[in-house]
Amino acid sequence: SPEVKLAVFGRAGVGKSALVVRFLTKRFIWEYDPTLESTYRHQANIDDEMVSMEILDTAGQEDLLQKEGHMRWGDGFILVYDITDRGSFEEVAPLRSLLEEVKRPKHAPLVLVGNKADLEHARQVPTEEGERLAADMACAFYECSACADHVGTGGGVAEAFYELCREVRRR
């Protein structure tokens, strides 16, 4: 079965590792070494087809050269911000620009994820702003929580990964 290479990008602390671990294990792990970069293999039945994924969980502290390398490697990208951290939201557009530059003339498939939707009381980024950014980037948008799968708009963490696989395989 085909292999889809997915890379998860976003500022350190937004919950990239927690999202990946939630997707792979359906569990939430509170503390995860923030400096760690890992790749995982996973298979899932998506729309009645087995899809093999390789998932790169970036540390979020890479220099430009490392970022570009990860972007060249990937077929599809999850850009993550934390709804309680406006700064992390503001880092998404520059990531997207770099991605466009690296992949030109192609447009790499991506999805936008606003994580930590369980922390509604601490929200700094309104849902509409996430929706607007996703519309600008012509991609799907999910608000979700790595620790509470029922929270958010998108049908949970897995749906973001599945939709990205679909996008990649449509190309």
Residue 115 binds ligand GDP (CB under 6 A): yes
Please report where in the chains the tokens 């897995």 appear, as a residue. 158
By Cβ distance, which residue is nearest to ligand GDP? Answer: 15
Q: What one-character-per-residue DSSP string does 132-165 give?
A: HHHHHTT-EEEEB-SS-TTSBSSS-HHHHHHHHH
Count how many Cα atoms sit within 13 Å of the Cα of residue 89 in the half-sphere of its side chain: 22
- Per DSSP, 58 falls in state -
CB of 160 to Mg ion, least distance (A): 16
Q: Say if residues 76 and 110 touch (Cβ distance below 8 Å).
A: yes
Among 118, 149, 163, 167, binds ligand GDP (CB under 6 A): 118
Residue 116 interacting partner from ligand GDP, Mg ion, none (CB closer than 5 to 8 Å by kind): ligand GDP
- CA 2, distance to chain mean position in Å, is 20
Torsion of CA 5, 10, 12, 16, to 10 degrees: -50
Among 6, 7, 11, 17, binds Mg ion (CB under 5 A): 17
CB of 46 to ligand GDP, least distance (A): 23
Residue 88 binds Mg ion (CB under 5 A): no
Residue 12 binds ligand GDP (CB under 6 A): yes
Residue 70 binds ligand GDP (CB under 6 A): no
**22 vs 166 by CB, closer to ligand GDP:** 22
Residue 115 binds Mg ion (CB under 5 A): no
Residue 25 binds ligand GDP (CB under 6 A): no
Letter for the amino acid at 106? K
Burial 92-114 (b: 16+ CB within 10 A, else e): beebbeebbebbeeeebbbbbbb
Q: How many residues bind ligand GDP (CB under 6 A)?
A: 20
Residue 16 binds ligand GDP (CB under 6 A): yes
List of residues contacting ligand GDP (CB under 6 A): 10, 12-18, 30-32, 34, 60, 115-116, 118-119, 145-147
